[in-house]
């Protein structure tokens, strides 16, 4: 199967300022365009690369690109530029991706999902869910709120968007006939095609403003890995279930706390938040807030993991030590691994759970309390 990608770099990037089109701004010694081209050049399923540039800019494409490449001149609008790129795509290409050069951190996984989605559905857009509450106002300048939109159904679109060849042809034809859209998926919708969402990547950011560029540069200079530690201790209490790592453990007492007192989830939450320098569980989910009364700590962990991803990091692995005289942790470790892995979006093999006693010393050794230590390694996403 022939898969082509059109890299749209024909704009002037005026919102970034500075007089230089953003596709030629550098991050870590490489321009945005070079980084975007390199991601597709390295991908084994991409057959050819078509780069759309402003007039007279063909020398901006690195000579080291290994895959067949074509350079064409763009048009006045994005959709005109993509149409020019589509005209240069090989006749045998059955799947065509369209990618913004201003998204320099696209990963191989996102590219794979765009290709597979295009094959399965005809048209797909990688997207990430909206985590914040979204307000719709009466005017672009802010003004009065007219609606609060259900965030559960809202997604932020990314690229590369993937299309079967015939679907993209219909979308481009709709544009020639007067349809207008901010991306090709929107034109495909107007042409009568269903467009599906596939998972994007929080790190697959678009560089639009000067602040975006500075954040991207800071990220490129930051260490690729960070380590965070977490600790939690709860006393045992009668009449409560014992929850550890999202698993209900058979025992005659549970742990005392404002939430469900899952000390494993609390320690892991602090470890990943600490690694990303995003505060701690007490700051984000304070025990003075009635919203967190008897809260499911596994959901709080998943929320924290989403915040870590939003900050441009991904959790690599977690190591947990549970200190208690009783109950024994070993028989429940595998279930806890599965539960924590689901909340963190990891393979269970990336979660280690160990049980230790305190040899009769202090409150944990006397069986009055249970303590947890956790260490988390995170990596810069899409680096």
Q: Are strands 351-356 and 313-323 parallel, antiparallel or unpaired?
A: parallel
pLDDT, mean of residues 54-62? 69
Cα distance between residue 174 and residue 187, in whole Å: 7
Per-residue pLDDT tens digits for 178-214: 999 899 999 999 999 999 999 999 889 999 888 888 8
Rounded distance, CA 41 to CA 68, Å?
9
Q: Tens of pLDDT along 210-242?
A: 888 888 887 776 678 999 999 999 999 999 999
Q: Is the pLDDT of residue 18 over 60?
A: no
Lowest mean pLDDT among 205-209, 241-245, 355-359, 372-376: 205-209
Radius of gyration of the chain (CA): 25
Report the range of poorest mean pLDDT among 136-140, 151-155, 181-185, 341-345.
136-140
Q: How much is the pLDDT for 328?
A: 95
Residue 26: per-residue pLDDT: 85
Question: Which of 80, 117, 77 lies closest to 97 in space, CA to CA?
Answer: 117
Whether residue 327 is preceded by a cis peptide bond, meaning omega within 30 degrees of 0, is: yes
Q: What is the pTM of this model?
A: 0.61
d(CA 114, CA 58): 27
- Give the pLDDT confidence of 293-314 residue by residue, as tens digits: 888 999 999 999 999 988 879 9
Q: pLDDT class for 57, splitting at 50, 70, 90? A: low
Alpha-helical regions (H) of 252-345:
263-275, 281-284, 297-310, 333-344
- Do the Cβ atoms of 24 and 114 come closer than 8 Å? no
Which of the residue ranges 43-47, 63-67, 89-93, 345-349 would you say has the lowest mean pLDDT?
63-67
Please state the CATH superfamily assignment of the domain spanning residues 2-221 in this structure. Answer: Spore Coat Polysaccharide Biosynthesis Protein SpsA; Chain A (3.90.550.10)
Report the chain's mean pLDDT, rounded to a whole number.
91
Contact (Cβ atoms closer than 8 angstroms) between residue 191 and residue 171: yes
The CATH code that applies to domain 225-380 is: 3.30.1330.50
Window from 55-59, 205-209, 257-261 with minimum mean pLDDT:
55-59
> Domains of the chain: which residue ranges?
2-221, 225-380
CA–CA separation, 149 and 53 (whole Å): 37
Counting residues of the chain whose pLDDT is more than 70, the rounded percentage is 94
- Residue 327's nearest CA partner among 224, 218, 253 is 253
């Amino acid at each position: 199967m022939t898969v082509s990608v059109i890299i749209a770099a024909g704009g002037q990037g005026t919102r970034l300022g500075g007089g230089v089109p953003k596709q030629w701004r550098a991050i870590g010694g490489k321009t945005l365009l070079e980084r975007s081209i390199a991601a597709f050049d390295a991908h084994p399923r991409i057959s050819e690369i078509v780069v759309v540039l402003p007039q007279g800019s063909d020398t901006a494409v690195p000579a080291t690109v290994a895959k067949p490449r074509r350079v064409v001149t763009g048009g006045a609008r994005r959709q005109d530029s993509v149409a020019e790129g589509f005209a240069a795509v090989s006749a045998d290409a059955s799947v065509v991706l369209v990618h913004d050069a201003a998204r320099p951190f696209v990963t191989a996984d996102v590219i794979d999902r765009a290709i597979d989605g295009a094959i399965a559905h005809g048209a797909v857009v990688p997207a990430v869910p909206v985590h914040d509450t979204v307000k719709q106002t009466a005017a672009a300048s802010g003004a009065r709120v007219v609606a609060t939109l259900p965030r559960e159904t809202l997604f932020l679109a990314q690229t590369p968007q993937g299309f079967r060849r015939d679907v993209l042809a219909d979308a481009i034809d709709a544009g020639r006939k007067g349809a207008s859209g901010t991306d090709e998926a929107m034109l495909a919708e107007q042409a009568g095609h269903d467009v599906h969402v596939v998972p994007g990547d929080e790190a697959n950011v678009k560089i639009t403003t000067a602040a975006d560029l500075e954040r991207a540069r800071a990220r490129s200079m930051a260490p690729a890995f960070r380590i965070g530690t977490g600790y939690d201790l709860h006393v045992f209490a009668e009449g409560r279930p014992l929850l550890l790592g999202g698993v209900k453990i058979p025992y005659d007492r549970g742990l005392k706390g404002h939430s469900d007192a899952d000390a494993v989830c609390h320690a892991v939450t602090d470890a990943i938040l600490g690694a990303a320098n995003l505060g701690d569980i007490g700051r984000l989910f304070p025990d003075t807030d009635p919203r967190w009364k008897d809260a499911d700590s596994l959901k709080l962990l998943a929320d924290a993991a989403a915040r870590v991803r939003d900050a441009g990091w991904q959790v690599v692995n977690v190591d947990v030590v549970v200190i208690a005289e009783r109950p024994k942790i070993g028989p429940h470790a595998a279930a806890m691994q599965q539960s924590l892995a689901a909340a963190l979006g990891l393979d269970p093999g990336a979660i280690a759970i160990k049980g230790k006693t305190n040899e009769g010393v202090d409150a944990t050794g006397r069986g009055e309390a249970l303590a947890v230590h956790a260490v988390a390694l995170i990596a810069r996403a899409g680096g």
